Amino acid sequence: MIEIKNLSKDYGKIRAVNDLSLKVNNGEFFGFLGPNGAGKTTTIKMIAGLLKPTTGSVAVCGHDLVTNPLEAKRKIGYIPDRPYLYERLTGREFLEFVGRLYHLEPEHVEEVSREYLEAFKLYDWVDELVESYSHGMRQKLIFTAALIHDPEVIVVDEPMVGLDPMGVKIVKELFRRLCDRGVTIFMSTHTLEIAEEMCERIGIILKGELTAVGTKEELREMAAKGESESGMNLETIFLKLTGGEEVSELLKALRSQ
């Protein structure tokens, strides 16, 4: 699970994340939403151990990311929105390299890699240089690399970027299977339909602060505030809770002219 306590991150005089506290349970699919610049990626990088908090703490499966980073990172599979890959390696060589970082047996790396690459329809390309991969193919390779050590927690930033419809379907099915096995998923996304379909609970961050957390039904109640809009979809809820409803209405008016 993930436990965040009073987490803040400053960049000079700018506070990107402010006093964020949150707990994500074992096997939960948690969605993390917010407008651009709200602090989503900064939070995700602190959870993944790529950024050190200014104040507060993040613990993954009971291991603090600052005081016990190696044990925490062994539990995490991190999928960034813009993956960095060694382009002069083949897909197989890259996965073998990742496997060695986690001290995995070569047989395990080959077995797990083949399973995921075949699911992604990428195995035929495993011995080609990564520089020849499309963006979607690179994303699938990163998914495989993040899952190769059987993590208990997956932290993912915009997972569907660059994927074709079949790739999106495969990822959604994969996430469901992982959650059924007790894997915790923390996902940031701009694709509200994906969040609405996949996530059990959703947190909304605005200007670095967690403004709302709950199931879709709980968020709907927060957004409605006594109005008769019980059928609101996640887009409407999101706009109401982030103050974007007025902007949305303006854009609709401009389009109608």
What one-character DSSP code corresponds to residue 225?
T
Confidence of residue 158 (pLDDT cuts 50, 70, 90): confident
What's the order of all strands across the beta sheet hosting 2-11?
Answer: 14-24, 2-11, 55-60, 63-64
According to the model, what pLDDT value does residue 118 have? 95
**Range with lowest mean pLDDT among 145-149, 227-231, 252-256:** 252-256
Which of the pair, 236 or 75, is modelled with greater confidence? Answer: 75
Instruction: Assess whether pLDDT exceeds 70 at residue 44.
Output: yes
Q: pTM (2 decimals)?
A: 0.87
**Range with lowest mean pLDDT among 102-116, 211-225, 236-250:** 236-250
Residue 210: phi and psi, rounded to 5, are -75, 110
**Range with lowest mean pLDDT among 63-67, 83-87, 116-120:** 83-87
Rounded to 10°, the helix 91-101/106-119 angle is: 130
Q: What pLDDT digit, counting tens, does each position of 184-200 carry?
A: 999 998 778 888 889 99
Domains along the chain?
2-75+155-162+182-256 (3.40.50.300)
What mean pLDDT comes out for the span 27-45?
92
Residue 182: phi and psi, rounded to 5, are 95, 5
Percent of the chain with pLDDT over 70: 91
What mean pLDDT comes out for the span 80-98?
92
Instruction: Assess whether pLDDT exceeds 70 at residue 58.
Output: yes
End-to-end CA distance of the chain: give it in Å, rounded. 50
Confidence of residue 81 (pLDDT cuts 50, 70, 90): confident
